[in-house]
Amino acid sequence: MSVKYKKRLIIFTRYPESGTTKTRLIPLLGAKGAADLQRNMTEHTLAQVKRLSTSHELSAEIRYEGGNESLMKNWLGSGFDYRPQGIGDLGLRMKRSFEDAFRSGTDAAVIIGTDIPDITDGIIQKAFDTLQQKNMVLGPAKDGGYYLIGLQKDTLSQAISNLFMGINWGADDVLDNTIKIAKHSRLSFTLLEVLEDIDHPEDLIIWEKSQNIINHNPRSECISVIIPTINEADNIAKSLASIGPESNREIIVADGGSSDDTVLIAKSLGARVVNSSPPRARQMNHGAAEATGDVLLFLHADTRLPEKFDELILQSLKRPDIVAGAFKLRFDSDIPALRLIEHLANWRSSCLKTPYGDQAIFISSKLFHQVGGFPNIPIMEDFELVRRLKKKGAIVTLPVPVFTSSRRWQNVGILKTTLINQLVIAAYFMGIAPEVIARWYSRSKGVSEKR
């Protein structure tokens, strides 16, 4: 009589409590939106687990954080065993889960998370099949970690301890270090296919694609990227390249009378060029008047956008409380003093809700025109627009950076530039005419300085 081979699947998840779940996504989705995403992803994963359980003998256990067993059962039903993950880092919690499973008579155990939309019952079954010949199976995640780990019962207890000790679970070398430990411990193992997890705002497109959302597909909306220029031939190509060729993006370069090859380069790269006299506020308003997109994104010519910027923008504007936003600031230089400037700028933007123009401000076209666009002043136009918008609702700073040139800071001097900028702000609050401030600003930073 053959002995039954006992398999146990352990699902790590968290009770979807608003404010404590998927906190990295809260700036984009809001506390409730992040919790709803956690709820939906867990239910999506468990649908795969249930499909597997109906065709294979398999016990499933949910190890949870937050909430309690009663809340978990009310949410996910009584068809699972429930246990809290307990104290310790991720490694200690996984080690404890494996040891508990093997003490209960399990022959092979697999742990998965709930933030891998593309995981399937077939992948999980493949993991269990592998464990009939190998000591270990790993599902590599694209970010350098792993989304699945499975072990045989006869894996040496010391090896199990080693697999989960001394690893920085937030680093991008988790998988590599785990493989090194396995080889050192003489464990046989197999790697499954590489999948992507959802941990950062830019990862949300993975979830949307997996769910085939058509109700409010972000790609059905058009973003008009408006770039004011004057003699930006050295920078415009990189800025345009960061926007990309996707069909939901319209690029308008509002040129203020360049005497170099700015216009020629912009046209050769597919941008639509409109002519407008300075200052920058007038150029951006002119570009906005020509734009056809649902959302306007104002980009400086020496600034590059992050990947999937359009998905991040449209996702954030789904929130009813968000009226506009911008990105974190990052300079294209490793000078330590500029790291401090970045930190202060990002603190101001996130805490005071006052981003500046070099952070790529975005807003719905409808609201932009409702508030009158940028005020037609030669300086502080971004500050004044944001001040108007704050009366309409919340302004979000997305937790991914744009990369902007440090040329102004390095050409004039970091300390001098910082002092000049603070004096400009102080003068504006004192009621000094923007035209006077702009003339002083230009003299202070040099006539060759481009704004």
DSSP 3-state of 149 = strand
Q: Which CATH superfamily is domain 216-410 in?
A: Spore Coat Polysaccharide Biosynthesis Protein SpsA; Chain A (3.90.550.10)
Put simply, whether the predicted model's pTM sits higher than 0.75 gets the answer no
Q: How confident is the model at residue 418 (pLDDT cuts 50, 70, 90)?
A: confident
Q: Where in the chain is the domain with CATH 3.90.550.10?
A: 7-203, 216-410
Dig out the tokens for 30 from the structure: 């809001």
pLDDT in tens, 231-274: 999 999 999 999 987 767 899 999 999 999 999 999 989 899 99
Secondary structure letter of residue 141 according to DSSP: B
Question: Among candidates 364, 318, 390, which has minimal Cα distance to 34?
Answer: 318
CA distances in angstroms from 110 to 58, 79, 84, 148, 440, listed in the order given: 11, 18, 17, 7, 67
**CA pair distance 162, 180, nearest whole angstrom:** 10
CA distances in angstroms from 350 to 328, 347, 358, 386, listed in the order given: 9, 5, 15, 13
The average confidence (pLDDT) of the chain is 88
Asked if 12 and 127 count as a contact pair (C-beta separation under 8 A), the reply is no
**CA pair distance 134, 130, nearest whole angstrom:** 6
pLDDT in tens, 27-51: 888 888 889 999 999 999 998 888 8
Secondary structure letter of residue 144 according to DSSP: S
Average pLDDT over residues 312-338: 89
Query: What CATH architecture is 7-203?
Result: Alpha-Beta Complex (3.90)
- E strands, 179-331, in order: 189-191, 223-229, 249-255, 272-275, 295-298, 303-304, 322-331
Secondary structure letter of residue 217 according to DSSP: -
**CA pair distance 245, 221, nearest whole angstrom:** 15
Amino acid identity of 31? A
Q: What is the pLDDT of residue 210?
A: 73
Q: What is the pLDDT of residue 21?
A: 87
Average pLDDT over residues 89-96: 94
